[in-house]
Amino acid sequence: MGEGTFGQVLECWDREAKEMVAIKIVRGIKKYWDAALIEIDVLQQLAKHQESSSLCVQIRNWFDYRNHICIVFEKLGPSLYDFLRKNGYRPFPIDLVREIGRQLFESVAFMHDLRLIHTDLKPENILVVSSEHVNLSDHKYPSQSMRLPKSSAVKVIDFGSTTYDSQDHNYIVSTRHYRAPEVILGLGWSYPCDVWSLGCILVELCSGEALFQTHENLEHLAMMERVFGPIPRHMMKRADRHAEKYFRRTRLNWPEGASSRESINAVHKMLRLQNIIMKYVDRSAGDLIDLLQGLFKYEPAERLTAREALRHPFFRNNRRRE
């Protein structure tokens, strides 16, 4: 079914339960072995607290086979990234974004209640529950029809980087595009870093493409300033010694510190958040922009919590319309 740095995932037939399952076979290296045991612990913790209709992938079993940890999961459908890619990175309809978004905030709020931080939320780690799909023709792109999941039900996977909340989280987490500013600046991170990732995912589902397409910290921060406005001075001042090179006193060292003309252009081309959303969304753009402004607060303490996001008008209005 797929491969990752951890090992691979195979589609298998469970002869006792008489159903297809997904088995993650973890590489036989200590680092991955240890991570797998943590993942099993997290998965069992999650399973204890939620019913079968949960929003996090369910563990069925696990075993050690010739020094490889094998974790048996319920079988799910393709990832949101698979859908985006196969559709040529075209936007999802806003009602689907809303339905998926609501479930993502539900599952993250649930994890945060258990004091767990996922730390690697991204479209690859969100799988639709059923492989059934529909072909939809979009009035904006009449030439090609889009393939969309028939049901909006999704689940979060990959708890290999999940950690318990504590004070001293300072190492680098998240996949680049979804990484929060406090992680890049080395200010220490906690629950709000998951909320930032969800904000990036919502924008990506609306536009079809990753919001921050970058491989480099300074360029990433410069892109954030284009989209959201200047980074607060008090955060720059607290940046750790790895991050202080991105600043000249209390300003981002941009464009002086840029690595190339292309990088300056890529940053310059980025639109303000409102304009990105208005380019793709007509109905409920106002509600969505307001929600995103709460999710993308630079200061983690000011950022909406997952629970607060669920109470936002973007999710509360339009409730029974699918």
CB of 225 to ligand 8FY, least distance (A): 32
x/- string (CB under 6 A) for ligand 8FY, residues 113-152? --------------x-------------------------
Which listed residue (1, 153, 187, 285) binds ligand 8FY by CB under 6 A? Answer: 1
Contact 274, 289 (CB under 8 A): yes
∠ Cα 279 315 73 (to 5°) = 100
Give the ranges where the chain is alpha helix by DSSP (H).
30-49, 80-86, 94-113, 181-184, 192-207, 217-228, 233-238, 261-268, 273-280, 285-295, 306-310, 313-316
Does the protein bind ligand 8FY through residue 247 (CB under 6 A)? no
Give the separation between CA 197 and CA 228, rounded to whole angstroms.
15
Which listed residue (117, 157, 173, 184) binds ligand 8FY by CB under 6 A? Answer: 157
Give the ranges where 229-284 is alpha helix by DSSP (H).
233-238, 261-268, 273-280
CB of 161 to ligand 8FY, least distance (A): 9
x/- string (CB under 6 A) for ligand 8FY, residues 73-102? x-xxxx------------------------
Does the protein bind ligand 8FY through residue 158 (CB under 6 A)? yes
CB of 40 to ligand 8FY, least distance (A): 11
The total number of residues shown for the chain amounts to 322
x/- string (CB under 6 A) for ligand 8FY, residues 200-229? ------------------------------
Residue nearest to ligand 8FY (CB): 2
Angle between helix 217-228 and helix 273-280 axes, rounded to 10 deg: 70
3-class SS of residue 235: helix
CB of 32 to ligand 8FY, least distance (A): 11
Nearer to ligand 8FY, 108 or 127 (CB): 127
CB of 294 to ligand 8FY, least distance (A): 29
Does the protein bind ligand 8FY through residue 55 (CB under 6 A)? no
x/- string (CB under 6 A) for ligand 8FY, residues 167-206? ----------------------------------------
Q: By C-alpha distance, which of 102, 145, 96, 151 is closest to 280?
A: 96
Contact 104, 154 (CB under 8 A): yes
Which listed residue (24, 98, 112, 312) binds ligand 8FY by CB under 6 A? Answer: 24
Find the largest Cα–Cα distance for the chain.
Answer: 64
CB of 11 to ligand 8FY, least distance (A): 7
- The answer for residues whose C-beta is within 8 angstroms of residue 261's C-beta and 6 or more apart is none
State how beta strands 154-156 and 126-128 pair.
antiparallel
Is 120 among the catalytic positions?
yes
The one catalytic residue among 14, 34, 120, 165: 120
Cα–Cα distance list, 40 to 129, 204, 214, 258 (Å): 21, 30, 32, 43
CB of 57 to ligand 8FY, least distance (A): 5
Contact 156, 107 (CB under 8 A): yes
Residue 311 burial by Cβ neighbours in a 10 Å radius (0-12, 13-18, 19+) = exposed
Choices 155-163, 224-232, 273-281, 298-306; region in contact with ligand 8FY by CB under 6 A? 155-163
Site residues, ligand 8FY (CB under 6 A): 1-4, 6, 9, 22, 24, 57, 73, 75-78, 127, 157-158, 160
The catalytic site residues sit at 120
